[in-house]
Structure 1
Amino acid sequence: MRSDVQGLRAVAVLLVVLAHLGVDVVSGGYLGVDVFFVISGFLITGLLLRARERPDAPGLGGALVDFYARRARRILPAATVVLVATCGISALLLPVVRVGEILTDAWWSALFAANIRFALVETDYFAEGRPVSPLQHYWSLSVEEQFYLVWPVLLLVVAALAVRRRRDPVGSVQHVLTVLVVASLAWSVWATYASPDTAYFSTLTRGWQLGAGALLAVVLHRRTSSGTPLGGRPGVLAAVGMLLVVSSAFVLTPQSPVPGVVTVPVVLGTVMLLLAGALPGGADTWVARGLSLRPMQVVGDWSYSIYLWHFPVIIVARSHLGGLSPAAVAVCVVAIGVLSGLTYHLVEQPFRRRGSRWDLARWAVPMYPAAVVVLALGVLASQTWLDHRVASTRSNPAVQPADYLDEGLSADPVRALVQASVLAAQEGRPIPGRLVPGLLDIRRDTASLGDCDYRTGTRELCPEGDPDAERSIVLAGDSHARAWSPAVRAVGERLGYRVYTLAYTGCPTNAAIRLDPETGRHWDACEDFVAFTQETVAELEPELVLVSNAPLAPVEDVDSGEVVTKGEGREVYAAAVDRGLEVALADLAEHADRVVLLANTPKLPREQAVCLSRSDDLGDCLLSPERGPRQLQRGFMDVATGLGLEAVDAEKWFCERRRCPSVVGSFVTMRDSEHMTTAYSVHLADALAQDLGLGTDPSS
């Protein structure tokens, strides 16, 4: 192994660790992953080319078995150890609501599909604001392994076909690889513009980075095999390459459009460094000598273990401690170093050592199913402990209004239960057992839209409630409307209304169209859906339209077309969204007997489930709604009443005098910080019907 390459691995992993520790000066340190991709493509392709030309080289099948056996020995043991350890420490230290997701992340990681998992999470509206998974860094391993599932086969097949046609096999590989690199880079630039969240994790957008290293290996191998002398100025190449890598880490930020064109300099810099080291005199440049220093070699040797361990250590510590003080950062660095050193010497090296039993393909190939079995045992143990944590409160009783008969509770049973739950929290009563929904399932508790999930592009109408009823209710809005849909469906079933839910997550029913939250540009899909909502109401002419929106930003002012953000001040933003809401409600009111705004579901400072996971009693999780969103929702109500329409203030079903219990009776009211759970939504159905003055007789 070239010492400069090991040193470059050290640079890459140190940049990544510093960035994840929050060292602002290297805010683009995550680009160390791009450096790893180039190095990996370079080394693996060179190894494949050299192995193919050995006198004792096996056939295509044997070559692939040998390659994947080496990959298994290199990747699986350490990766499995860290996966199992992360599951265990998460089950011990993190809120139970998070651990179930981490166990799921572990399975995706074991299947080398973590990049797909985290791309889905990044584009999930309901995952916004959640803490990062301690296993998120496994996405890069998945990209590599997906690349190597295809690349060795393609390389060997192209070379074999070239030999049959009496062409230069390495030259043919070079031509094919050049086309693939250019195509992947072009796709990366486009995908990063069109869908940056998914592009970041995609193998197709990252393939050109691995391919750039592979292409360099092919070119060098071709020149060496032909006896063509290598020339150039390695000192200049190395200096410029290092400058490109390091300056990229200093200049780019987490908001930079990665992995598009902005990653070209760091990839080019890495290629230049690898090329410089291969040239005559390359080992004597000041850059190569610096990379070859003993500390850099040690970090380079340990770089894989460091990469595996650093993220779980940092994320678990940050979550458990509520942040990282300088002392905590120092402890994290020591822990990363100790764990990495132990893993390198006790796990990595024994499996990679030549002459050991693992050096034989018949032992190495079964390592993958063995790793899956080990992970399954680790997940089972973690899940068992998790179940024990949840079961420890199972005998605790639910809160009931009867517990506080002398406290002058409301005659409304729904409000009385809220008031009793506030009193129970103030007393510090233990958290009830058998919460609804359970803490382990709460993040999956999203109201179903069935065939009418309009994010898929469908424009179907799905009558629910009482589909055969003559009267109809339309529920319109964003994710807040979706959260109300179980209640409104229940109202329809009980009172004889067809119910249509026209909800598009993240897209309020408001003429001030929100910008696309992923790209920051005009959101055509949202504008189209708002128009579809208006057109559908005009066609249905329902007896009742219910509208529920969150105050989302930024938006385009309906009059000026200018983009307005919350950063411009609450009054400026409120004026823009109020005006947009006014236009939307007025349009709806022209085609419905009644239009009612469902407003003021509280926005809480913390997730109730996370708080309940950490606490012993209800008092720790008695929260107050955030002031800003509350004021904006009250502004929405003023807009509705100003138009002569109706508004329902929902806060009374969640809070009493701005004190919001995390558990009402046995219900956890919110699945996250602002969306109610489906069970609590159904619980509110009768109260909602009463507030709306809906009759119990369909003929009334």
Structure 2
Amino acid sequence: MALVLIYHIWVGRVSGGVDAFLLISAFLLTSSFAARAANNRPLAKYWRKIFLRLTPTATAVLLATLASIMLLFPEIRWTQLIQHAWASLLYAQNWALVLESGNYQIADAATASPFQHFWSLSIQGQVFILWPLLLLMAAVIARRYRPSFTAIAAALFLTIFLGSMAFAIAEANAGSGSAYFDTRARLWEFALGSLLALALPHVRLRPGLRVVLGWVGLLGLASCGILIRDVAAYPGWGSLLPTLSAALVIAAGSTAHRWGADRWLTARPIQRIGDLSYGIYLWHWPLLVVYFVIKQKDAVTIAEGLGIIALAVLLAWCTERFFDRPLRFLATTYERISASFLVVLAVMVAVPLLEWQNRIHHAETQLQHQSRELNPGAAALGANDFEWSTNALPIPAATALDEQWGNAGPACEQKYAPDHAAIDSCHQIEPTAPAQKTIAVIGDSHARQLMTGIMPLAQERNWRVISLLKNACRYGAESTERDPACNAHNAAAREHVLEISPDAVITLGTMSLAQAPRETMVPEYAAGIEPFLENKIEVLAIRDNPRFDFNMYECVALHGSSAAQCNPPRNEVIPPDNPLEELSADVPLLHSVDFTDAICTQLTCPAIVGNVYVYRDYDHLNKTYVETMIPAIKREILEKTGW
């Protein structure tokens, strides 16, 4: 627990403490349940006992966290956090994080969730359902075919250990950010704890060796965060250090030696903290995240961190004394209805969650019935005679931001689909009449967001549009500034575009920055478009939109739409001169396209224009605003190209 607190609060790295926790929980479960399974004792009673021990404190933390979110967190985060609350309640938080870690668009905008730490509790709950079934199966096989129950269970858990470890290492080598939260990649840690529980009764260690093992294990646990800094090593080979270290401490057991590590571990204050460790773990993380939200910071001092720990200990003690212990006493006293207590605890969280969702739905309905004339967006820029109410509610709703990404159309037809493994996706907009032009779009999420504005123009002019998009991968020739996967995608996209020989290619030619100099040319951009120009293919080089080091949508919720920080000066966030103009000056087939005047006023680049939020996060335009830019996008493209 100490490792988890230190690394979560001050260091911001993986400590290995959770890995040790998962192994220990499996060790205890297997040790206590093996005899029950061998004797065919009922599972339901055991499951009730386990979850009655876990659920009361978790319920208290969930309710307190929900209250803090409704009071302190900006609405932009509510949708995601409601999903996390449900996932935590249903012991599925790790899978919610798996889905998000594989989604660039969510991960790009999200900040730390106060429910995030429930991922380990979720995996534990899933295993606490699965493991007794596996032990019972081993017992049934042992009774029927007469082999040793221990041998059957050991073979089963060894198979799980090897399969899960291989999966975890393969996912880590593939660069999967989701493996850390994936139950399949964590099962080997539980299996190792179970193998230890099955083997330990048959092992006899000398007292001196046990003393050494205890201290080696403790030192190994303490050194995890120092020796292994790459989170990709977890839960693969890197997790062997904390899990094997914990196994050594368990194997050492009680040495009764004055120099034994167990003498320190069994000290009364340490034991008392250990009794509260579950509550401390559940309380410390939401306290830290809430503190970050209140103070608008992402780090704490030593004193602030100690204050958070002290409050977590106090809340853990209060939860155990006044909530957990009385509920468990009632459940024990009225054992026949103990399952009802679990239902009541779940309802205590579900009811406010449902009420919160109803409030959000009501607000969304109110926005849907508001006349769009009150939300002109980009149309309000430079329109002196444009009438719209400044008292109208701005759109889109914070809870609808997940739907505010650009739509590039359906998947490509076989004729235009690339036969290149490096290309992630291909989308096609096909006109209803014979295509007058074929246009290829290559780029990242900033190219995708503009597809909402390009699609109507394509449909109006009967253009076929083929989009080859990869998130976080701006198009250009090969560059050391891009990762290998992006370079491979760009090379394959360039080859495919030359194969289909379109009339034009649309790319982003500049890259905005959150700090000075605020804008640069895309790395190796000129070299990247040269093959198209040589093949008489026109290139539309689009200037990137401004980028910020804070969430522009959230800025309004925190400071108000008129706050200076939500309306930064235009000359501070985007240079006055567009570098693409110079590049395209002497190249007839290269057109510099700049939509800045549809995003910014002459003086500022606001978070809200014409009662429409411009951005959905730090740098992405939201789909609703791009829809209001359609006339400007059409005008700029047609004027620059002469089409």
TM over 0.5: yes
Aligned runs of 1:134-145 on 2, under 5 Å?
134-145=114-125
* C-alpha distance after superposition, 1:533-577 (max 9, x if no partner): 334433444333221267499xxxxxxxxxxxx99x989x968x4
Letter in 1 for 2:438: S
Is 2:182 the counterpart of 1:202? yes
Name the counterpart of 2:164: 184
Letter in 1 for 2:552: Q
Which residue among 663, 677, 687 is the counterpart of 2:608? 663
Name the counterpart of 1:379: 353
Query: Measured at CA, do residues 530 and 662 of structure 1 come closer, stay the same or move farther in structure 2, by a change above 3 Å?
Result: same
Is 2:401 the counterpart of 1:442? yes
Q: TM-score, normalised by structure 1?
A: 0.80
Which residue among 484, 495, 504 is the counterpart of 1:522? 484
Query: Measured at CA, do residues 458 and 240 of structure 1 come closer, stay the same or move farther in structure 2, by a change above 3 Å?
Result: closer
Contact 2:112 2:289 in 1 (8 A): yes
Contact 2:26 2:190 in 1 (8 A): yes
Structure 2 Cα separation of the partners of residues 253 and 627 of structure 1: 40
Name the counterpart of 2:223: 247
* C-alpha distance after superposition, 1:65-96 (max 9, x if no partner): 12211221122222122122211211100111
Letter in 1 for 2:142: A
Name the counterpart of 2:530: 586
Is 2:25 the counterpart of 1:31? no
Unpaired runs of 5+ in structure 1? 1-12, 403-411, 425-429, 554-565
Structure 1 Cα separation of the partners of residues 403 and 230 of structure 2: 28
Structure 1 Cα separation of the partners of residues 443 and 52 of structure 2: 52
Is 2:634 the counterpart of 1:684? no
Letter in 2 for 1:88: A
Task: Using the TM superposition, give the Cα deviation of residue 438 of structure 1 relative to its aligned residue in structure 2, in angstroms.
Answer: 1.3
Unpaired runs of 5+ in structure 2? 413-417
Which residue among 244, 258, 261 is the counterpart of 2:237? 261
Structure 2 Cα separation of the partners of residues 352 and 247 of structure 1: 37
Structure 2 Cα separation of the partners of residues 503 and 173 of structure 1: 49
Structure 2 Cα separation of the partners of residues 626 and 307 of structure 1: 45
Contact 1:541 1:592 in 2 (8 A): no
Structure 2 Cα separation of the partners of residues 574 and 609 of structure 1: 24
Name the counterpart of 2:309: 333
| Local SS of the residue matching 1:437 | coil
Structure 1 Cα separation of the partners of residues 627 and 610 of structure 2: 14
Contact 1:474 1:544 in 2 (8 A): yes
Structure 2 Cα separation of the partners of residues 169 and 176 of structure 1: 11
* C-alpha distance after superposition, 1:360-397 (max 9, x if no partner): 66434345544432222121344467689999999999
Contact 2:429 2:455 in 1 (8 A): no
Query: Measured at CA, do residues 229 and 607 of structure 1 come closer, stay the same or move farther in structure 2, by a change above 3 Å?
Result: closer
Structure 2 Cα separation of the partners of residues 623 and 46 of structure 1: 61
Task: Using the TM superposition, give the Cα deviation of residue 182 of structure 1 relative to its aligned residue in structure 2, in angstroms.
Answer: 2.6
Which residue among 313, 316, 322 is the counterpart of 2:287? 313
Contact 1:466 1:497 in 2 (8 A): no
Name the counterpart of 1:511: 477
* C-alpha distance after superposition, 1:130-164 (max 9, x if no partner): 31111111111112122223222112212220221
Name the counterpart of 2:128: 148
Structure 1 window deviating more from structure 2 (43-52 vs 527-536): it is: 527-536
Aligned runs of 1:296-375 on 2, under 5 Å?
296-323=270-297, 324-325=300-301, 328-353=304-329, 356-358=330-332, 362-375=336-349
| Local SS of the residue matching 1:510 | coil
Alignment: residue pair count: 630
Task: Using the TM superposition, give the Cα deviation of residue 16 of structure 1 relative to its aligned residue in structure 2, in angstroms.
Answer: 1.0
Structure 2 Cα separation of the partners of residues 394 and 187 of structure 1: 46
Contact 2:532 2:538 in 1 (8 A): no
Contact 2:566 2:607 in 1 (8 A): yes
Structure 1 Cα separation of the partners of residues 128 and 422 of structure 2: 32
Query: Measured at CA, do residues 342 and 433 of structure 1 come closer, stay the same or move farther in structure 2, by a change above 3 Å?
Result: farther
Name the counterpart of 1:112: 91
Task: Using the TM superposition, give the Cα deviation of residue 265 of structure 1 relative to its aligned residue in structure 2, in angstroms.
Answer: 1.5
Name the counterpart of 2:265: 291
Name the counterpart of 1:5: none
Which residue among 548, 561, 577 is the counterpart of 2:508? 548
Which residue among 62, 70, 82 is the counterpart of 1:91? 70
Query: Measured at CA, do residues 493 and 391 of structure 1 come closer, stay the same or move farther in structure 2, by a change above 3 Å?
Result: closer
| Local SS of the residue matching 2:399 | coil
Query: Measured at CA, do residues 102 and 456 of structure 1 come closer, stay the same or move farther in structure 2, by a change above 3 Å?
Result: farther
Task: Using the TM superposition, give the Cα deviation of residue 275 of structure 1 relative to its aligned residue in structure 2, in angstroms.
Answer: 0.7
Letter in 2 for 1:304: Y
Which residue among 249, 265, 273 is the counterpart of 1:273? 249
Task: Using the TM superposition, give the Cα deviation of residue 44 of structure 1 relative to its aligned residue in structure 2, in angstroms.
Answer: 0.5
Structure 1 window deviating more from structure 2 (475-484 vs 191-200): it is: 191-200
Query: Measured at CA, do residues 200 and 305 of structure 1 come closer, stay the same or move farther in structure 2, by a change above 3 Å?
Result: same
Which residue among 586, 603, 607 is the counterpart of 2:551? 607
Structure 2 Cα separation of the partners of residues 322 and 419 of structure 1: 40
Name the counterpart of 1:452: 411
Letter in 2 for 1:35: A
Contact 2:423 2:489 in 1 (8 A): no
Task: Using the TM superposition, give the Cα deviation of residue 482 of structure 1 relative to its aligned residue in structure 2, in angstroms.
Answer: 0.2
Q: TM-score, normalised by structure 2?
A: 0.87
Structure 2 Cα separation of the partners of residues 695 and 638 of structure 1: 14
Query: Measured at CA, do residues 616 and 391 of structure 1 come closer, stay the same or move farther in structure 2, by a change above 3 Å?
Result: farther
Name the counterpart of 1:46: 31
* C-alpha distance after superposition, 1:330-367 (max 9, x if no partner): 442332122111112223323444xx434766434345
Query: Measured at CA, do residues 458 and 241 of structure 1 come closer, stay the same or move farther in structure 2, by a change above 3 Å?
Result: closer
Letter in 1 for 2:277: S
Query: Measured at CA, do residues 478 and 187 of structure 1 come closer, stay the same or move farther in structure 2, by a change above 3 Å?
Result: same
Letter in 1 for 2:132: P
Structure 1 Cα separation of the partners of residues 577 and 45 of structure 2: 63
> Identity across aligned pairs (percent)?
23
Task: Using the TM superposition, give the Cα deviation of residue 440 of structure 1 relative to its aligned residue in structure 2, in angstroms.
Answer: 2.0
Contact 2:411 2:427 in 1 (8 A): yes
Structure 1 Cα separation of the partners of residues 525 and 472 of structure 2: 15
Structure 2 Cα separation of the partners of residues 118 and 314 of structure 1: 19
Structure 1 Cα separation of the partners of residues 563 and 370 of structure 2: 15
Structure 2 Cα separation of the partners of residues 466 and 180 of structure 1: 54
Name the counterpart of 2:49: 70
* C-alpha distance after superposition, 1:151-202 (max 9, x if no partner): 2211221222022111111122112222322332232222212134111111
Structure 1 window deviating more from structure 2 (505-514 vs 126-135): it is: 505-514
Task: Using the TM superposition, give the Cα deviation of residue 632 of structure 1 relative to its aligned residue in structure 2, in angstroms.
Answer: 13
* C-alpha distance after superposition, 1:568-593 (max 9, x if no partner): x989x968x44x21122122234465
Structure 1 window deviating more from structure 2 (529-538 vs 206-215): it is: 529-538
Query: Measured at CA, do residues 639 and 695 of structure 1 come closer, stay the same or move farther in structure 2, by a change above 3 Å?
Result: closer
Name the counterpart of 1:494: 460
Structure 2 Cα separation of the partners of residues 97 and 433 of structure 1: 19
Letter in 2 for 1:611: C
Structure 2 Cα separation of the partners of residues 179 and 390 of structure 1: 50
